[in-house]
Structure 1
Amino acid sequence: MPTTTATRAGATTAELLAHFRPVLDRIAAGALERESDRRRPHDAVGWLKKARFGAVRLPHEEGGFGATIEQEHTLLIELGAADSNLPQIWRNHFAFVEDVLFDDEDGRNEQWRDEIATGALFGGAWSEAGSRSFFDMRTALTRTVDGPVLNRQKFYSTGSLFADWISVLAAGPDADQVSLVLVEADAAGVTLVDDWDGIGQRLTGSGTTTFDEVAVPVGRWYPFAQRARYQEAVYQLNHLATLAGISRAAQRDLTDAVRSRLRNYPQGLADAPREDAQIQEVVGRVSALASSAEASVLWAARVLDDAVVTLAEDLASQEPAVVEGLRAATIAVYEAQLTVTEAALAASTLLFDALSSSALAESRALDRHWRNARTVASHNPRVYRARVIGDWHLNGADPSAAFAP
């Protein structure tokens, strides 16, 4: 019977947090310096790999922790609060993990689970600049007399600068086929460029990747249609965990800043800002926004966990209960996207209402919370999610229809 770690007993949330807490604290301690110096977090990625962060969803017997999706995203929220670049770096990795969690008849997934268990990090290269749609791409896997090769260029290659393997969306190798191709990040013909110039999430390695006659051995690609049926929801849930982490970081930095301030405004209601009822109200609002964002992410993760457990009984099932469960889980994630996005943008803006102009110093980089939240939220605009949610509630429309090649 196909199985997934969602159906197996794994580590408790407390055990997971205890295991990863030292790494998370170490990452948080260097986040501001990395941001200021624009220094890529290779060390932080290495610490997480050593702690087997990428294997949290694998079962114990395969070298993982047997975590649920909810537990995984609890960790991602904590990681986002430490440094919001890091959960996004791991976004493609965890989406790929869901592809290979299930047993398969030909053993294709076993080799990839072994890679994950031993610490390999999988990046991604799916989107192309200048294309008309998601599946309008020039990157192609083509057959030659010497074997299949991969060519052309991708943008938004998040995490690939830190990765051991890159998952690439490509046309081919057969006519009218779309495949996910796995190539080693240091393979001949692969060129990675850190040219992402967005206002936020500057250290995610989300730049350009070029493939020039990259050899792809048999067994290193599979049809896009065979990816996990709920993978789109996992992709979006990662962004939401990052936003919830940003909200928590804004609340943390605001609280620390107010506590350390000695001077208040003439119109203040107390000598010390921390005793001023107006300032307390702002801190309270930001804290509530951070808590609501976190709660929304974990609620959606629980809905998705339930759908995955049901799906694990029959991966190909088209039973109405299974199909509707997957669609309801996707809707839960999209609904969370609306609330979490608003919470993160508000929290990262409101924090300045409780602080003086000294909070604008570049050395404190408090603006990074809004820049990062705005950047993550812009990758998948919420306006489209709101329409999809409404169409599902009113008409039962498939929320994932746009991602069918």
Structure 2
Amino acid sequence: MTTQIDLAWGAAPSQHYETIAARFRPLFAEIAKGAVDRELQRRLPVEEIAQLKQAGLGAVRLPEAEGGLGATLPDFFALLIDLSEADSNITQALRGHFGFAEDLVNKPQGLDRARWAARLARGEIAGNAWTEIGNASQEGFSTRLSLRDGKLVVNGEKFYTTGSLLADWIDIGATGLNGESVTFQVRRDDPGVEIIDDWDGFGQTLTASGTTRFTNAEVDPADVVIDENKFRYGAAFYQTVHLATLAGIGRAIATETARAVAERRRHYTNAAGPRSSQDPQVLQIVGRLRSNAYAAGAIVLQVAKALERAHEAHLASDEAAEEKANAIAEIETSQALTVVTSLILEASTLLFDALGASSTRKPLALDRHWRNARTLSSHNPRIYKDRIVGDYAVNGTPPPYQWRIGLSPAAAGEAKAS
């Protein structure tokens, strides 16, 4: 069995990880074989995600006693790096589910947890429907719960509903009956649910991240939860999924570039060697790509340890320890974000210096790495992270745990006035 150490990516987080990874690596390899064709044909990874569901990827964090694989957070994020090397679109498409599952493993034992644990153990997954565009407010959702004929229903429209078209359930953020922020789930194929594959971003093109509309879609009152009650390290968790995806893109860049250099026969008369594989300047670039990927992966696994401490503090019911662990996890994630982003964006550009003009041909789809990395890096603007870290270091200011995008109260007032 080939391990991470054999591949020179460093030791795995645990011996248990190698057991978990052995279950998925053959499937990841098959997914990687079709990644370029899916990109060129714009074919959503429907079959690939179905296979991952059947293999238990959606329940990897669920304890074994509840039908999962019992992965720690470092194990989990190491697995996401592997998956993202195969196809980063799939990791991004499943990001909403992974957050939903993480919230579940932080819930106390009871009927609600048992019901959803059974669904995840069966292979069911959840997409997400949180972000609203246009004149959406930072202070609340225009998507709302209401009563209709004595039943609870949801009405509204969401965008960036990543993975929902490929999921069984949709996890929704909305305004509750009393004006509070709530979250709940509806089935993807329920009446009143319409998902449109209109994502037009230049990256992560196969994640079905477009529009979802809800028209009197029925909601089970038992599924409605106050938003503030979701797991506290959620912002750091979701961002670390992005970081793991970027690290996987870095590995794909390094591997694909090394393979292309080894196979390349044409070379320049002014080069430093007869072939690319014997050219020290080209080899230097390939080495830089691997180093960037190695560093990114190591950073992600270090951040994953901080998230694991936050999770353990929550389970220990030590409020002070949990508060401190959450703050540290958020800071470590923010410290990692700008560095990992820069490493992978640099690698996605440098790869073309190793391969020449022919590497820009569309059938090779090497541009997907920059497009995907650039798109991921824009989800949570890195320009704010260094400021947040600096404010914590200098002034002890705690980082924000949750944040939303939309019109500020002042901007919303201007929009109403106009």
TM-score (norm 2): 0.91
Residues in 1 aligned to 2:402 and 2:313: alpha-carbon distance in whole angstroms = 24
Number of the residue aligned with 2:8: none
- Structure 2 CA distance for partners of 1:309 and 1:404, relative to 1, 3 Å: farther
Number of the residue aligned with 1:18: 22
Residues in 1 aligned to 2:82 and 2:183: alpha-carbon distance in whole angstroms = 30
Matched residue of 2:312: which SS? helix
User: Gaps spanning 5+ residues in structure 2: where?
Assistant: 1-13, 406-418
Letter in 2 for 1:250: I
- Which residue among 42, 45, 70 is the counterpart of 1:41? 45
Number of the residue aligned with 2:319: 318
Residues in 2 aligned to 1:133 and 1:387: alpha-carbon distance in whole angstroms = 24
Residues in 1 aligned to 2:83 and 2:401: alpha-carbon distance in whole angstroms = 31
Distance apart, 1:318 and its partner CA: 3.2
- Structure 1 runs of 4+ with >6 Å offset: none
Judge conservation of contact 1:11–1:66 (CA < 8 Å) in 2.
Answer: no
Letter in 2 for 1:340: V
Number of the residue aligned with 1:331: 331
Number of the residue aligned with 2:71: 67
Residues in 2 aligned to 1:326 and 1:102: alpha-carbon distance in whole angstroms = 13
Judge conservation of contact 1:11–1:67 (CA < 8 Å) in 2.
Answer: no
Judge conservation of contact 2:234–2:401 (CA < 8 Å) in 1.
Answer: no
Distance apart, 1:103 and its partner CA: 4.5
Distance apart, 1:404 and its partner CA: 8.8
Distance apart, 1:134 and its partner CA: 3.9
- Structure 2 CA distance for partners of 1:270 and 1:67, relative to 1, 3 Å: same
Number of the residue aligned with 1:104: 108
- The answer to whether 1:85 aligns with 2:95 is no
Residues in 2 aligned to 1:47 and 1:127: alpha-carbon distance in whole angstroms = 28
Matched residue of 1:379: which SS? coil
Number of the residue aligned with 2:350: 350
Letter in 2 for 1:84: S
Letter in 2 for 1:139: T
- Which residue among 219, 229, 244 is the counterpart of 1:216? 219
Number of the residue aligned with 1:137: 141
Judge conservation of contact 1:290–1:343 (CA < 8 Å) in 2.
Answer: yes
Letter in 1 for 2:319: Q
Letter in 2 for 1:61: A
Aligned length in residues: 392
Matched residue of 1:399: which SS? coil
Judge conservation of contact 1:56–1:72 (CA < 8 Å) in 2.
Answer: yes
Judge conservation of contact 2:62–2:70 (CA < 8 Å) in 1.
Answer: yes
Number of the residue aligned with 1:147: 151
Number of the residue aligned with 1:362: 362
Matched residue of 1:156: which SS? coil
Letter in 2 for 1:297: V
Residues in 1 aligned to 2:369 and 2:271: alpha-carbon distance in whole angstroms = 26
Alignment of 1:5-404 (within 5 A): 12-104=16-108, 107-175=111-179, 177-314=180-317, 317-319=318-320, 321-403=321-403
1:222-271 Cα distance to aligned partner (Å, 9 max, x none): 11011011111111111111111111111111101100111211111110
Letter in 2 for 1:47: Q
Letter in 1 for 2:301: L
1:278-322 Cα distance to aligned partner (Å, 9 max, x none): 0011011111001111111110001111221122111xx432x32
- Structure 2 CA distance for partners of 1:238 and 1:226, relative to 1, 3 Å: same
Residues in 1 aligned to 2:260 and 2:15: alpha-carbon distance in whole angstroms = 36
Letter in 1 for 2:274: D
Matched residue of 1:12: which SS? helix
Residues in 2 aligned to 1:123 and 1:20: alpha-carbon distance in whole angstroms = 21
User: Gaps spanning 5+ residues in structure 1: where?
Assistant: 1-9
TM-score (norm 1): 0.94
Distance apart, 1:173 and its partner CA: 2.2
Identity of aligned residues (%): 41
- Structure 2 CA distance for partners of 1:401 and 1:34, relative to 1, 3 Å: closer
Letter in 2 for 1:351: L
Residues in 1 aligned to 2:136 and 2:269: alpha-carbon distance in whole angstroms = 56
Letter in 2 for 1:29: K
Residues in 2 aligned to 1:75 and 1:360: alpha-carbon distance in whole angstroms = 30
Letter in 2 for 1:244: A
Judge conservation of contact 1:193–1:208 (CA < 8 Å) in 2.
Answer: yes
Residues in 1 aligned to 2:362 and 2:78: alpha-carbon distance in whole angstroms = 30
1:154-213 Cα distance to aligned partner (Å, 9 max, x none): 0000000101000010001223x1001200001100000010100110000100000000
Judge conservation of contact 1:148–1:173 (CA < 8 Å) in 2.
Answer: no
Matched residue of 1:311: which SS? helix
